[in-house]
Amino acid sequence: MTLHRTLLAAALTALLATTAAAQTMKAADVHPAGYPTVVAVDAMGKKLEAATQGRIKFQMFPGSVLGGEKEMIEQTQVGAIQILRTSLGPVGPVVPEVNVFNMPFVFRNVAHMRAVIDGPIGQELLDKISASPARLVGLAWMDGGSRSLYTKKPVRKPEDLKGQKIRMMGNPLFVDTMNAMGGNGIAMGFGEVFTAIQTGVVDGAENNPPSFFSTNHHKAGARFYTQTNHLIIPEILVMSKVAWDKLSPADQALVKKTAREAQMEQRALWDTAVGESTAKLKADGVEFIEMDNKAFFDATAPVRAKYGAQFTELMARIAAVK
Ligand code: BDP
Give yes or no for residue 270 having a pLDDT over 90.
yes
Strand pairing partners for 240? 136
For 41-66, what is each residue's pLDDT tens digit?
999 999 999 999 999 999 999 999 99
Give yes or no for residue 135 having a pLDDT over 70.
yes
Mean pLDDT, rounded, of the chain: 94
pTM: predicted TM-score of the whole model, two decimal places? 0.93
- Structurally, at CATH architecture level, domain 146-232+277-320 sits in 3-Layer(aba) Sandwich (3.40)
Helix (H) or strand (E) holding 151: strand 147-151
By DSSP bridging, strand 184-187 and strand 224-231 are unpaired
3-state secondary structure of 80: coil
Residue located nearest, by CA, to atom 2 of ligand 1:
87
State which of 30, 146, 150, 177 you would mutate to test the pocket of ligand 1, scoring each by most atoms of that ligand within 8 A of its C-beta.
Answer: 30
Superfamily of domain 22-143+234-276: Bacterial extracellular solute-binding protein, family 7 (3.40.190.170)
State which of 110, 207, 231, 269 you would mutate to test the pocket of ligand 1, scoring each by most atoms of that ligand within 8 A of its C-beta.
Answer: 207
* Runs of H (alpha helix) within the chain: 2-21, 36-51, 69-78, 110-118, 120-131, 172-181, 193-199, 209-214, 241-244, 249-283, 294-299, 301-308, 312-320
**Cβ burial, residue 141 (10 Å; 0-12/13-18/19+):** buried
For 205-248, what is each residue's pLDDT tens digit?
999 999 999 999 999 999 999 999 999 999 999 999 999 999 99
Closest among 200, 198, 166, 199 to 182, alpha carbons compared:
166
Protein residues with CB under 6 Å of any ligand 1 atom: 30, 69, 86-87, 144, 169, 190, 207-208, 211, 235
Where does the pLDDT of residue 20 fall: very low under 50, low under 70, confident under 90, or very high at 90 and above?
very low
Is the Cα dihedral 119, 120, 122, 123 positive or negative?
A: positive
Quote the Cα angle for 220-153-227, to 5°: 90
Number of the ligand 1 atom closest to the C-alpha atom of 190: 13
Are the folds of 22-143+234-276 and 146-232+277-320 the same? yes
Q: Are the beta carbons of 159 and 230 closer than 8 angstroms?
A: no
Spell out the domain ranges in the chain: 22-143+234-276, 146-232+277-320
Strand pairing partners for 231? 147
